[in-house]
Copies of this chain bind each other. A is one copy, B any other.
Amino acid sequence: MKKVSRQQIDLQVDLKYLEDTLFVISGKWTMKIISALSCGNKRFREIGKAIPDITFRMLSKELQQLEANKLISRTVTTEGRMLIHYEITEYAKTLIPVISEMIKWGKDHRRAYRSV
């Protein structure tokens, strides 16, 4: 029986999981929003200002999407005027290893281009 490398098996069998992950993190603004949130911005317009070129429309939609995916939480505090703040969830923090690997690869990728 031929021994197949683990790499090939992973790629083939688990493609579905890979797609799920890509779906969650590959949006144009997704990671920027998570980044902004993790840097302390919590309010809608605060986040909007922290991310260049994003429109309210997109921010609104992305936040909904992120909330649906349980990556952020939305809290309403009505004390006179409307007060809403967003936070990344503990669950979102499980993405850190994934993101770290991607960043690591991104650095090497860029370096590879320079050296070639």
Chain A interface residue count, CB cutoff 8 Å, equals 45
Number of copies: 2
List the B side residues contacting A12 at CB < 8 Å. 35, 38-39
A104 to B13, CA, bound (A): 12
List the B side residues contacting A105 at CB < 8 Å. 17, 21, 94-95, 97-98
Give the interface of A toward B (CB within 8 A): 7-8, 10-12, 14-22, 24-26, 31-32, 34-35, 38-39, 70, 91, 93-110, 112, 116
Additional A-B contacts beyond A7-B93, A14-B106, A20-B109 (6; CB < 8 A)? A11-B31, A21-B105, A21-B106, A22-B26, A97-B104, A98-B98
